[in-house]
Structure 1
């Protein structure tokens, strides 16, 4: 029979979604499953965005421009200006989610067998995007002991080879919730300028920062205009994951011109979702104030409950809505599957994301899980109690 491509065989499964069949089986058995595995907020999408789709006056659902409508890109540029990021509408390409923005970035700046350095643990799909692009991920490990802070810059520098084309960070981080400081960004800026590399920042969680700490974008750093690429998305900012609208932003005209060719090849981003996303930019600040307050309470509740469990180690996130938890087990994949198949407390169980899939280094993160604190506080307390009771009886 015809064979599958090597690329297809190497394509990793999502640690976030691969346990879905076991969760579905648990549902069929009548169990309640608390989903801590996926960053799908339960926060309502802005009504202004939903209404914009309801009242549109389109007669034909036509293609838009490949780079996204000019009106939407003008409004995105105005949004960035409010965040001290000064770009023009033609520095922006609207994409089908942040995922496509990453694929466009990889395709625009790297060839097959080129290398990209990424602090790990990192968003699991970076592995998939790299495989799809024929690019090699070179990891530099950050550690739970120091809350997953940026590894020493010397660790990055010694990994740079003639094949290295870029450094990629997620800020605030998925899956760690770590928020890079201005000083850390400036160290990376000096490094990419020294070695003439690109610095890509996945900034989709920009709004979600806590404890009075402000997000510092790579595009706020002077002198990096030709080196920086921002990946962005409406998914988490406005709780609009299903819209599948993101963007790639760069002042490097060659990057934008090249990415536009990839955008033209897929024709255009979805029209109705652009209408919703453009309207969402008028969401009042009070929406974000309320959401951030809710996430801070959820984070504090989650961390407090986890610290009550013997043998558990947890990093305290400063942004986004994820944290990495180290468990007293040998293999969190087996534990996560067992939770869904064989364990419940009064008919309730938990779905988590095994953290090994957020690393590219073999054998790292095997006893860790990622938790997304996107559930209400009562559900989080119940979910952590299930994990606590499970650890009392689980045998590796």
Structure 2
């Protein structure tokens, strides 16, 4: 796959989209879609109840135009919540409300970097990171994670060049669900600080899944370890309301170009046509920013699926967050394995979409009866390979 052209990046994504749609058309309601994280059941009704209450009480001015950075009262609530979570003194104007984490990432990359800057990505990574960077004329340097999908700081150091201006990491990892611990983040911060002359490199911390830690594993914030950090958050993912597209950017209070960065982000919200989230979902963000989602059901599914797959001989990556489960394919050709599963009506995602080969990702979208049917098919095809 070429990282230098739109075609090279888009082709595998479009091929998978066709496979996904063809499988849904062929199997209809019998399809077991464990690809994109679209849960078929309600884990926590509270966000839906709050949204319904806000809509029922809404007055005309509650639905007014929002400034490009978002409503000030909403930004105050989000800043206060993140200040407690990150132990950093965020102010309201360090927060930029965005229509989801994808828009936040795109705006941050456009605002804070320019060609010929080089950006390091840790693979496996979210599928569209390289697409955004390539479209902006930025140079992508892919650095594989360790065998257990943790940060390989020595490999990052080896990939560093005089033109390197930033790193993008996900905490927790997506698609892996791995949580980077304090030691990893301290090592990364030390490396980046060694390269802080003449201009400190920026760390983009994608925390879209930070509120989906389904056990008691601590999930430290990269911003607490490295001052030159921009954090991306997704409220929609936290509440299983992905389609509501509600996210934010948080500029570290210790960032040397703090004021300039916020001004650039808000300006680029306008330039790119990315308005703030809808008025109603901003109110929802303010109402729920201090509410931890109930992940009891997700934890049960994670433990069950991991036990079932491991018992049947599959290698499942040890992880503690997200709705995802990352497992090894029986061979390096992950797309061939995923195609065989699709022939039987089971949809999962090949790791080649996440810029590495030989794995696949399951999104735990169903409860046990349907999930167990999918696991049966996955196990049978794995054994046949």
**TM-score, reference length from structure 2:** 0.87
- Which residue of structure 1 aligns with residue 281 of structure 2? 273
Range that drifts further, 235-244 or 172-181? 235-244
- Which residue of structure 1 aligns with residue 298 of structure 2? 295
SS of the residue aligned with 2:31?
A: strand
Show CA shifts across 1:73-132 (max 9, x none).
011012113313430110011111111111111112211232111211011111222122
Structure 2 unmatched ranges of 5 or more = none
- Which residue of structure 1 aligns with residue 370 of structure 2? 379
2: CA distance, partners of 1:217 / 1:30: 42
Answer yes or no: is the 8 Å Cα contact 1:23–1:33 preserved in 2.
Answer: no
> How many pairs were matched up?
365
The offset of 1:59, in angstroms, is 5.9
**1:205 to 2:206 alignment:** no
- Which residue of structure 2 aligns with residue 163 of structure 1? 163
**1:12 to 2:10 alignment:** yes
**1:139 to 2:142 alignment:** yes
**1:218 to 2:225 alignment:** no
- Which residue of structure 2 aligns with residue 257 of structure 1? 263
- After TM superposition, the structure 1 = structure 2 runs for residues 6-155 of structure 1, keeping only pairs within 5 Å, are 8-13=6-11, 15=13, 18-31=15-28, 32-41=30-39, 42=41, 43=43, 44=45, 45-58=47-60, 61-83=63-85, 84-143=87-146, 145=147, 147-151=148-152, 153-155=153-155
SS of the residue aligned with 2:60?
A: coil
Answer yes or no: is the 8 Å Cα contact 2:24–2:31 preserved in 1.
Answer: yes
Range that drifts further, 22-31 or 173-182? 22-31
The offset of 1:25, in angstroms, is 3.6
**TM-score, reference length from structure 1:** 0.85
Q: 1:79 to 1:13 in 2, by over 3 A?
A: farther
Answer yes or no: is the 8 Å Cα contact 2:236–2:244 preserved in 1.
Answer: yes
The offset of 1:8, in angstroms, is 4.0
Show CA shifts across 1:147-195 (max 9, x none).
21221x2221121112101111101111111101111111111111111
1: CA distance, partners of 2:8 / 2:22: 27
**1:358 to 2:354 alignment:** yes
2: CA distance, partners of 1:209 / 1:194: 31
Answer yes or no: is the 8 Å Cα contact 2:112–2:261 preserved in 1.
Answer: yes
SS of the residue aligned with 1:38?
A: coil
1: CA distance, partners of 2:99 / 2:9: 20
SS of the residue aligned with 1:206?
A: coil
SS of the residue aligned with 1:236?
A: helix
1: CA distance, partners of 2:77 / 2:158: 41
Range that drifts further, 179-188 or 58-67? 58-67
CA RMSD of aligned residues (A): 2.3
2: CA distance, partners of 1:116 / 1:175: 19
Q: 1:60 to 1:301 in 2, by over 3 A?
A: closer
1: CA distance, partners of 2:262 / 2:166: 16
Range that drifts further, 229-238 or 127-136? 127-136
Answer yes or no: is the 8 Å Cα contact 1:301–1:381 preserved in 2.
Answer: no
